[in-house]
Amino acid sequence: MKKTANTVGIAVLVLIAGVSLAWFVRAWIPSSSHWADGMSVYDFISEGDRLYEEQRYSEALTYYEQAAQKSPQDASVRMRIGQLYQIKNRFMEAEQEFRFAEQLDGTNPEIWYRLGCIYIELKYWDEAREYLERTLAEVRDTPMEKEKVRYPLGLASLWLSEYDAAEAHFQLAAEVESDNTQQAKYYWGLLVSRRDRAQAKAILGSLVAQYPDTDIASKAQKAIVSLDDIDATADETLRILKTGVVYLEHLMPTLATEYFTQVIQRQPDYQSAHYYLGYAYFLAGDVARAQDELEGALDIGGKPAALNYYYLGKLYAYEQEWSKAAEAFERAVDGGETSYDVYINLGHVLRQTGEYSKAVKAYKLAREVQPDELGVYRSLVYLYTSTLKDMASALEVARQAVERQPDTALSHSILGWALVESGELEQAEQELRKALELDPTIASAHLNLAMLYEQKGLIDQAKAEYQLALDFDFEGDIAPLADQALERLYQ
């Protein structure tokens, strides 16, 4: 299997690598070794299903595991375990469970569909297409059943450069109202633009009209403006370049590479075509070719472009070459790239190099560009509390977050966290409870409330909140911290 590079931005908090899945089942089990005596497989499954519906995923998993021990050949149990891992974004573990389920029940389309979707997340495009095509051939012949398969199948086809097939899948998926309708129509319109920009603009325009004031409408409108600009461009080479940029901006890098390659064939010293091609390779997971193009573009033409340095910074950060990444981002800023993404990424890599004061400056610049983006407030509070030990500044930043976003759970969680770190526990509890009123599933608030209870000596309450932090963490940055705390409390 081929796995492409993960091009997601650098995490706001440093993730703890290599954490076992022990956290997913730890801590809540009763102390008696006979707690499961007398329960049947059906009992375990029923109780697991009840806990699953209540979003108590760690406890549900424990019951399913007990069911699997009693009945190891039950495919439905393995599917339930796999689904829990899938929900928690633990896709490798989910794959193992569904592959086991497939061995036990090799004719179940639901297993194939789940595996296809998991392979989409893992970027195993060939495997995704294989399982989704198998599913499509077997599911009931109703639009809803087939179209839920066509959208991920369209994604697999897109990344495999099978653009006609991808377009057909997205078009059919867009014709049925579902969770994926908007995204399917968006990709359908972009793929149609390969041959007919007028039709593409009509499709994207209908998306804007049908779903106004949504993120997908904003992206569609941006694409329409770009396509209008291409239509107004007389020079053929520049028109090809701009078309590639559209696909790159809308995260269709495999398609974008074809256009940048055409430009380079026409004009080998076209600097921007080389760094755009390099970044397209990076997004497509071909890191070696990306680095060759991006570094090579620095020597083409005159002064290197700021965008070239920004792309290099992202590549070096992915490779964890922090000093080189910081230098690249700084050169991008010096060259005029002053976007939020440049500053926030610069802050992250400077934190990795230990240049904390410079990281604070970078984060503050990011905040000036996007003052409503709460991630940068969280990054600043993390630096002030964990490294610089400047509690007054941490509290100031956290209160600014609440002022900017008073009705957002995350802002109150950030302030509660800063107050816990400052020892102001009563006020901290008020803020954290406010966060949970706004969003009962916010893992960071549960984690910080658990820390607060632990400081107060309320160990049972702390254990319960740490467990909730485990259940509601779907990104992976909270769970290891909660796991360590639970392990300590249960020793």
Encode pLDDT of 198-240 as tens digits.
Answer: 999 999 999 999 999 999 999 999 999 999 999 999 999 999 9
308 and 358 in a single domain? The answer is: yes
The confidence score (pLDDT) of residue 36 equals 63
422 and 484 in a single domain? The answer is: yes
364 and 465 in a single domain? The answer is: no
Q: Does 269 fall in a domain?
A: no
Query: Where is pLDDT greater, at 36 or 29?
Result: 36
Q: Does 442 fall in a domain?
A: yes
The confidence score (pLDDT) of residue 177 equals 86
What's the domain count of the chain? 3
pLDDT surpasses 80 at 20: no
| 59 close to 51: Cβ distance less than 8 angstroms | yes
Q: What is the pLDDT of residues 259-295, one digit of tens each?
A: 999 999 999 999 999 999 999 999 999 999 999 999 9
Give pairs for 315-321: CB < 8 Å, separation 24+.
315/278, 315/282, 315/287, 315/290, 315/291, 317/10, 317/345, 317/348, 317/349, 318/5, 318/6, 318/7, 318/282, 318/287, 319/287, 320/352
| 419 close to 425: Cβ distance less than 8 angstroms | yes
The C-alpha atoms of residue 400 and residue 421 are separated, in whole angstroms, by 17
Average pLDDT, integer, range 446-462: 96
pLDDT surpasses 80 at 29: no
Q: Does 30 fall in a domain?
A: yes
387 and 365 in a single domain? The answer is: no
Q: Does 464 fall in a domain?
A: yes
Q: Does 246 fall in a domain?
A: no
Q: Does 55 fall in a domain?
A: no
Average pLDDT, integer, range 17-35: 39
Average pLDDT, integer, range 45-71: 93
388 and 456 in a single domain? The answer is: yes
204 and 175 in a single domain? The answer is: yes
Using a 10 angstrom Cβ sphere, with 0-12 exposed, 13-18 middle and 19 or more buried, the burial of residue 53 is: exposed
User: What CATH number should be reported for the domain holding residue 455?
Assistant: 1.25.40.10
Distance (Å) of CA 417 to CA 385, 395, 413, 442 = 9, 9, 6, 13
360 and 338 in a single domain? The answer is: yes
pLDDT surpasses 80 at 129: yes
Average pLDDT, integer, range 442-457: 96
429 and 488 in a single domain? The answer is: yes
Tokens of 337: 């790239």
pLDDT surpasses 60 at 175: yes
457 and 484 in a single domain? The answer is: yes
For residue 420, how many C-alpha atoms fall within 13 Å in the half-sphere facing its CB?
27
Average pLDDT, integer, range 83-107: 95
- At residue 58 the predicted structure's pLDDT band, cuts being 50, 70 and 90, is confident
**Structural domain boundaries, residue 27:** 1-35+382-491
Average pLDDT, integer, range 49-63: 91
Domain end residue (candidates: 321, 342, 370): 370
454 and 402 in a single domain? The answer is: yes
Q: Could you give the angle at the alpha carbon of 133 between the alpha carbons of 127 and 136, nearest 5°?
A: 140
419 and 483 in a single domain? The answer is: yes
pLDDT surpasses 60 at 451: yes
Domain end residue (candidates: 216, 232, 248): 232
